[in-house]
């Protein structure tokens, strides 16, 4: 077991490409560097081809790469693996396979939002993701807390442009506010931008609220929860339960996956 004060090295797994979405990667690295504890290092990794085709088959392809990368991260001595993708592709499979803590943007954001308000709502980047997020809500047992899942109509390419184009940013923000307002009128207390891109994009708006509802910065939540998971793991050996849901695969099962 490592000393609790030893440096921390975290693999941050994005679902976009560091060259195609360079503006986002630059902003993400800067954000993580500003958030980190003094002796924590975040190494940001992407996926190529990135998750640009908005479809379940693309989510599935990227999730398989995430699992491979989680195994690599453990082999290379990383202390934790953070999945910076709201759909949490590969989360359960990675958590069941490696011994280091594995956290993901969607689960972390929703669980932390429960400490900030009773009624929570999600606003995703495209309507195609609404059923996927509704499935996540059920998986995490939050049906009574997540009171709505809405969507703006955009795509990763447009959101990347919004980092450097003020007009695009204003257009995306206006869409977001339009979707959020009915949720707030209906009693939502915490609003989660459901995606790494919008989470980082809106993080430039300090103390962002719509009415009295708080707009969550999910990237900050994921970063700090991952660091906390490492600390707890070092302090008292807190580990993932292997009782059932996250039971370890056999060596044969893992080898077959990695060799496929």
Q: What is the pLDDT of residues 6-38, one digit of tens each?
A: 889 999 999 988 888 888 889 999 999 999 888
Contacts of 163 (CB under 8 A, 6+ apart): 23, 24, 27, 169, 200, 201
pTM: 0.94
Which pLDDT value is given to residue 1? 57
- In sequence order, what are the beta bridge partners of 151? 124
Which pLDDT value is given to residue 19? 84
Residue ranges of domains in the chain, CATH in brackets:
8-104+220-259 (3.40.50.1860), 107-218 (3.40.50.12500)
Which pLDDT value is given to residue 54? 84
pLDDT band (50, 70, 90) for residue 231: very high
With CA atoms as reference, report the closest residue to 109 among 208, 240, 221, 231.
221
Which pLDDT value is given to residue 45? 96
Give residue-wise pLDDT tens across range 169-207: 999 999 999 999 999 999 999 999 999 999 999 999 989
Q: What backbone phi and psi angles, to 5 degrees, belong to 252?
A: -65, -45
Give residue-wise pLDDT tens across range 86-135: 999 999 999 999 999 999 999 999 999 999 999 999 999 999 999 999 99
- Mean pLDDT across 59-87: 97
**Is the per-residue pLDDT at 62 higher than 90?**
yes
Are 231 and 237 contacting, i.e. CB atoms less than 8 angstroms apart? no
- In sequence order, what are the beta bridge partners of 190? 120, 214
pLDDT band (50, 70, 90) for residue 140: very high
- In sequence order, what are the beta bridge partners of 44? 12
Beta strands in 94-198 (DSSP E): 102-104, 120-124, 146-151, 190-194
Alpha-carbon distance 45 to 65, whole Å? 11
> Between 54 and 253, where is the model more confident?
253
Are 211 and 184 contacting, i.e. CB atoms less than 8 angstroms apart? yes
**Is the per-residue pLDDT at 5 higher than 90?**
no
Which pLDDT value is given to residue 221? 97
Which pLDDT value is given to residue 49? 86
Q: Which residues of 149-158 are buried (b: 16+ CB within 10 A; e: fewer)?
A: bbbbebebeb
What mean pLDDT is reported for the chain? 93
Environment class of 167 (CB within 10 Å of its CB; exposed 0-12, middle 13-18, buried 19+): exposed
């Amino acid at each position: 077991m490592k000393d609790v004060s030893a440096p921390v090295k975290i693999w941050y797994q994005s679902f976009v490409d560091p060259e195609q979405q360079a503006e986002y990667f630059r902003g993400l690295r800067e954000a993580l560097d500003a958030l980190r504890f003094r002796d924590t290092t975040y190494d940001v990794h992407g996926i190529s081809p990135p998750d640009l085709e908005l479809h379940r088959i693309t989510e599935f392809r990227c999730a398989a790469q995430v699992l491979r990368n989680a195994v690599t991260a453990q082999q290379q001595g990383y202390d934790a693996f953070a999945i910076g993708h709201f759909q949490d592709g590969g989360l359960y499979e990675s958590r069941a396979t490696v011994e280091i803590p594995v956290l993901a943007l969607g689960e972390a954001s929703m669980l932390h939002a429960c400490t900030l308000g009773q009624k929570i709502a999600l606003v995703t980047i495209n309507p195609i993701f609404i059923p996927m997020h509704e499935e996540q809500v059920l998986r995490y047992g939050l049906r009574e807390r997540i009171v709505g899942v809405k969507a703006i109509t955009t795509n990763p390419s447009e959101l990347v442009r919004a980092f450097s184009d003020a007009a695009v940013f204003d257009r995306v923000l206006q869409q977001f506010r339009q979707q959020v307002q009915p949720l707030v009128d209906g009693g939502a207390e915490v609003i989660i931008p459901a995606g790494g891109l919008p989470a980082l994009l809106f993080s430039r708006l300090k103390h962002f609220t719509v009415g009295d509802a708080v707009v969550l910065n999910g990237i900050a939540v994921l970063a700090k929860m991952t660091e906390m998971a490492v600390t707890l793991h070092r302090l008292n050996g807190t580990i993932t339960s292997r009782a059932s849901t996250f039971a370890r695969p056999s060596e044969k099962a893992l080898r077959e996956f990695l060799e496929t």
